[in-house]
Amino acid sequence: MTDEDEDEWLKRFLEEEERLLTKGDDLQKLSVIGSLPELLKYDQKGTVSKIIPKIQQELPNASSEFNLAVSKMFSVLIHMDIPVNLTPQILQGIENRDPIIANAWMETLLAVISVLKGPVIKNEILKCAISKSQLSKTSYFRVSSCKILGEISVHKCMSPFEVKKDVLPLVQSLCQDCFFEVRAAMCKELPNVAQGLFNLGDAIVKVNLLPLLVELSADENVNVRSMAIESMVSIIPYLSDDTIKGTIIPLAKKLCTKSASEGDITYTAIANVYTMLICNLQPQMSSNDAMWFLDYYSHICKKGLSLVEDLETDPSVCMLCRQNCAKCLPTLTSMVLAQIGSEISLKWYQTFKALADDPCYMVRKSVANCFSEVVKILGGCNKIIVLDFTRLLRDEDEEVLQALIPNIADILEQFTKTNVLQREIPVQATLDIGRAMLKCQNQAFKTNNWRMKECLLKQWERLPNCFPSDFIHQHFSPVILNATIYGKAKPVRSQATRTLLIILRYSLKENHRTWIREMIQTQLCNSSSCYSRQVYITLCNHAIDIFSWKYFKEYFYLPLLNLAEDPIAIVRLSMVKLCPALKQMLILPLDRALQLKLENILSKMEMMESDKDVMMTLKLKLKEMKSFKGIKNEILLEDKRRAEEEDKIMKGRPVGLKAITQMSTVHQKDSTVKNMKLSPTKPIVVKTPASGSKRTSSSTIPRYHFNNMHTLSCFFQLQLPA
């Protein structure tokens, strides 16, 4: 297509879009609006001169759907910085009698204020805010004015002097409005106003805004008081240390004390911002202040649990308060440790215990979410919450377990670092936590949430970091093996095989390792179920990831090759996909027998294979195997490291924590080794003891990546006994 033809096509296309906006139905008009960004890319000049004016012309009498779509699109266009002033249409939309349309245009205005030019802000938006703030306007417009003033205060074009001169008088007036909705809306924007005034100094903020906050915090309406609490916390960064010590801390205490009075429910708002309150005040807190805030925290953590609680209080409000308190636990723990460490095992623990044992599952879930962080903050003091950890592991609510399970390994390793758990011998905490984890597993596997089951098994990969080898073998190996054999979801069985291999690799006793390998052979590789034999191939794929070539060839190589004669085509197909990795881990002449076995099996399959999918894959893999030229040195070094680590383990010596953690987490990332294409690097040279002659052998990446191992088997549905 020539340039002239393209121009002609664009011209006709824009004419058609213009026609649809004028005479089309609503669906066609909405389609044109949605295509505006693309139209601007192809022909900005034509779109700006023809389409956008037509949209502006249609707006006054358009439907609600049209207005809503255009309001969202105008926000996009303004952020694209097109050469059209769309502000008048936005301001006109705010005046619409339909509250839904007016609210949509107000959201658009608030979204674009930050990117509007300085003259537009000062000449149009500020005037609009002043107009909307008049008492003659309805409360809705005055609320809108509050939001606009908050955005204007932090705009880059507004100097602190302009904020003080033009914005501050309106703010002070709106903070005293007769409608509580307006007072609450303006109170919410006070932190933005403080930010705008900040460059003039702390005194300006203190003199002009703190009196407003004090007045609003004593408002008759609970929503205004709650908003005043949140604004007070957010405004702290714009105040000096002396102001915080002399004014804010006493004010915060006063508000907290008042919230504890009968009938006042602002404690929920305080609990919601308690984390920010503690973080902002802690640098200026004394020990007495810290103790006071801990006492208050302990008080609101029990809201709704007392028999003498105000009967008019909504139980859901109290529950929300306790849930917010639970989210604040890490921050409060840091404060107590830093300021009043002696209270950790006394008042702090009693409060923590109450939240962890709360009758509402939402509160316990919040505790479970932050448990790992609390354990890390406590450090050497974390032994005091072992009992609470076991209680959460035994929780019967699925949501609590779902929050706790992803953090189990981190929690256990933190306990190990502080000697609460020991890798050498089982201590009382080992027995308690071990039993609780088995109860957690039993509860998790009763649900239909396969992702939670998979996550739990993934966490168990790091058990060798925390528990003695004998304890793991006795209590966890049978459970993991059972999930490998009878797990219903494929991801669960796959993760179970990987966890079982990790346990196998780091078991310190040969009889334990022998038992696991025998179970793998009898229950998976030699199983009468084709699904279990397929799982064995998945296990081998993980084993290439985990073990050295030497170990894999000794225990997994030949059983895997035997599956080439499996009666089920999908099993043979999966085995064929592993053949390149199997060939490349052979080092000649040491592995001559394995090489002959592999070649004989592939030759037999070439002649006798009847399934066309398997045959096609076999040809591709044979071609791939012929093209291999060598591997990179870092792969050889990694294999050597694995072999040395395995030799150390076989002698009964445990490896370091770091090695197990790296092994258990490496499969969660896109390994560069896995995704690396083999390059024509220098081949392996093996010097035989007999002759001393050098021979070459194509050896390979032990972690060869097969993304589509189960592509053709995805139609199978596992129907195994539970």
Query: What pLDDT is stored for residue 688 in this prediction?
Result: 38
pTM of the full structure? 0.81
Digit-coded pLDDT (tens) for 317-337: 899 999 999 999 999 999 999
* 461/717: higher pLDDT: 461
User: Per-residue pLDDT tens for 462-473?
Assistant: 999 999 999 999
- Residue 573 tokens read as 């197909």
pLDDT of 389 higher than 60: yes
Question: Helix (H, G, I), strand (E, B), or coil: what is residue 216?
Answer: helix
Mean pLDDT of 302-316: 72
Name the residue with higher pLDDT: 241 or 700: 241
Name beta bridge partners: 64: none
In total, the chain counts a number of residues equal to 722
User: Which segment of 46-50, 89-93, 140-144, 297-301 scores lowest on mean pLDDT?
Assistant: 46-50
DSSP 682: P
* Start-to-end CA span in the chain (Å): 64
Task: Work out the pLDDT band at 658, boundaries 50, 70, 90.
Answer: low
Arithmetic mean of pLDDT, 97-107: 91
Is the pLDDT score of 1 beyond 60? no
* 104-113, 134-143, 689-698: least confidently modelled range: 689-698
Q: What is the structure's pLDDT at 41? A: 82
Q: Report DSSP letters for 470-512, one per residue.
A: HHHHHHTHHHHHHHHHH-SSHHHHHHHHHHHHHHHHH---HHH
pLDDT exceeds cutoff 60 at 720: no
CA 87 to chain centre: 38
Q: How far apart, in whole angstroms, are the C-alpha atoms of residue 270 and residue 217?
A: 12
Q: Say whether pLDDT at 655 is over 80.
A: no
Q: In this model, does residue 28 exceed pLDDT 50?
A: yes
Q: DSSP labels for 156-189?
A: TT--HHHIIIIIHHHHHHHTT-SSHHHHHHHHHH
Residue 666 has pLDDT above 60, yes or no: no
| Average pLDDT of every residue of the chain | 86
- Token pair of 191 as six digits: 């932190």
Q: Which residues contact 403 (CB under 8 A, 6 or more apart)?
A: 365, 366, 368, 369
pLDDT band at 681 (very low <50, low <70, confident <90, very high): very low
- Which residues, including other chains, have CB under 8 Å from residue 43's CB and lie 6 or more apart? 10, 14
Number of Cβ within 10 Å of residue 202's Cβ equals: 17
The C-alpha angle 272, 277, 281, rounded to 5 degrees, equals 170
Could you tell me the CA-to-CA distances from 21 to 9, 230, 402, 701 in Å, in that order?
Answer: 19, 46, 51, 61
Please name which of 509, 569, 504 lies closest in space to residue 542, comparing C-alpha atoms. Answer: 504
d(CA 568, CA 390): 45
pLDDT tops 80 at residue 130: yes
Q: Which of 201-210, 228-237, 340-349 has the least mean pLDDT? A: 201-210
For the ranges 4-13, 399-408, 662-671, the lowest mean pLDDT is seen at 662-671
Please report, rounded to a whole number, the percentage of residues in the chain having pLDDT higher than 70: 89
Q: Residue 716 above 60 pLDDT? A: no
CA 704, CA 486: separation in Å to the nearest integer?
Answer: 27
Q: Could you give the 3-state DSSP secondary structure of residue 670? A: coil
Half-sphere exposure at residue 277, Cβ-oriented, CA atoms within 13 angstroms: 30
Q: What CATH number does the domain located at 495-680 have?
A: 1.25.10
Distance CA 564, CA 575 (A): 6
pLDDT grade for 652, boundaries at 50, 70 and 90: confident
Q: Provide mean pLDDT across the span 1-27.
A: 74
- What's the farthest any 2 CA atoms get from each other in the chain? 105
